[in-house]
Amino acid sequence: MKKLNLFILLTGMLWFGCQPDRDDENKLPAAPAAPEFSVEMIPGDSNRVVVTDQSTGNFQRLWSLPGGTPKSSVKVTDTVFYDKKGDYVITLFVSKSDGSGTPSATKNVTILTDAPLTCTPKMALLTGDCNPAGKCWTLSHEAGAVKVGPTYDDYSWYTSPENGLQNEQYDDGFCFTFENLVFQNRNNTASVNPWNGYQAEAYDPGVGDFVFLEGTGILGRDQILLPDNQWMGVWDCDNLLDVVKLTADELIVRGRQRAQNGTPLTQGWFELRFVPQ
């Protein structure tokens, strides 16, 4: 019996002696709560909603807005445009100041009608007075038809000289038709591929649609939104374009430089100058 008691005593001492130290101060913080946000329709406008981050303690946020314009945002409050009726998902991701995680929240919004078509003065300039034939634009032969730089207002990386582009670029027509808001890249079967040494290669861009947005761009500029797989001017320019100038004889736009998979780059902007074809 004495041997058994001694064994139990020694075992108990070893067990308690091997317990790991507890340090409550090093515990990970609790998972943060999901962010709160509101989605409100604009009175009298069935295609725009206002999203507002109502949560606190965030030092970063990202709105994911598939199907809308813009497609993403980092603003506390932003206006989102949906040109087609349907159900859309809005997701808000936030990073907390304590670094304890990136929670998210999701809401659904239903757009009941397609955006109405109105031949505004600006739409008339873009589409050729909204006539059925539409209007095609082509890159200008003047110097500066294509400019590239690191930021929205800095085009120090490259400026094309007069007649400095390839023939396969000058024969491309980028056409806008008001009826059904049709966009077509009429490239005469070949386009210049920036991811293949700027070689002209056979390519069929197909036909898409477009949306003209008034006042939604940087500095309150108007915007042209093309489908994700479409482009205007140069293949590696994003499909969301800020309109810098639009007259009957000239169209100047700015867009982000994008990767081959369609993702906009963190640095790199184009300014592109077009004239009627």
Confidence of residue 29 (pLDDT cuts 50, 70, 90): low
Q: What would you measure as the largest C-alpha separation in the chain, in angstroms?
A: 107
Torsion on CA atoms 175, 156, 216, 276, rounded to nearest 10: -20
Predicted TM-score (pTM) of the model is 0.66
The three-state secondary structure class of 71 is coil
Range in 25-34, 84-93, 161-170, 227-236 the model is least confident about = 25-34
CATH, residue 235: 2.40.128
Better-predicted residue by pLDDT, 5 or 129 = 129
Q: What's the whole-number average pLDDT of the chain?
A: 88
**255 in the same domain as 233:** yes
When divided into structural domains, the chain yields a total of: 2
The predicted structure's pLDDT at residue 4: 40
Looking at 63, 91, 111, the residue that finishes a domain is 111
Q: Are 42 and 48 in contact (CB under 8 A)?
A: yes
Residue 3 lies in a domain: no
Phi first, then psi: what are they for 161, rounded to 5°? -80, 175
Domain enclosing residue 93, as ranges: 37-111
Residue 17 lies in a domain: no
The predicted structure's pLDDT at residue 116: 79
Confidence of residue 60 (pLDDT cuts 50, 70, 90): confident
Per DSSP, 16 falls in state: H
Residue 244 falls in which region: left (phi positive, over 0), alpha (psi -120 to 50) or beta: alpha
**196 in the same domain as 105:** no
Looking at 111, 130, 146, the residue that finishes a domain is 111
**82 in the same domain as 211:** no
Range in 66-70, 150-154, 157-161 the model is least confident about = 66-70
Return the amino acid letter for 273: R
Looking at 63, 92, 111, the residue that finishes a domain is 111
Confidence of residue 97 (pLDDT cuts 50, 70, 90): low
Q: Exposed, middle or buried: residue 13 (CB in 10 Å: 0-12, 13-18, 19+)?
A: exposed
**188 in the same domain as 84:** no
Better-predicted residue by pLDDT, 169 or 9 = 169
Confidence of residue 57 (pLDDT cuts 50, 70, 90): confident
The predicted structure's pLDDT at residue 96: 72
Residue 16 lies in a domain: no
**269 in the same domain as 184:** yes
Residues contacting residue 276 through CB under 8 Å, at least 6 positions apart:
135, 136, 137, 138, 248, 249
Q: 177-212: per-residue pLDDT in tens?
A: 999 899 999 999 999 999 999 999 999 998 999 989
Confidence of residue 11 (pLDDT cuts 50, 70, 90): very low
Closest to 255 in 3D by CA, of 148, 96, 176, 115: 148
Cis omega (within 30 of 0) for bond into 161: no
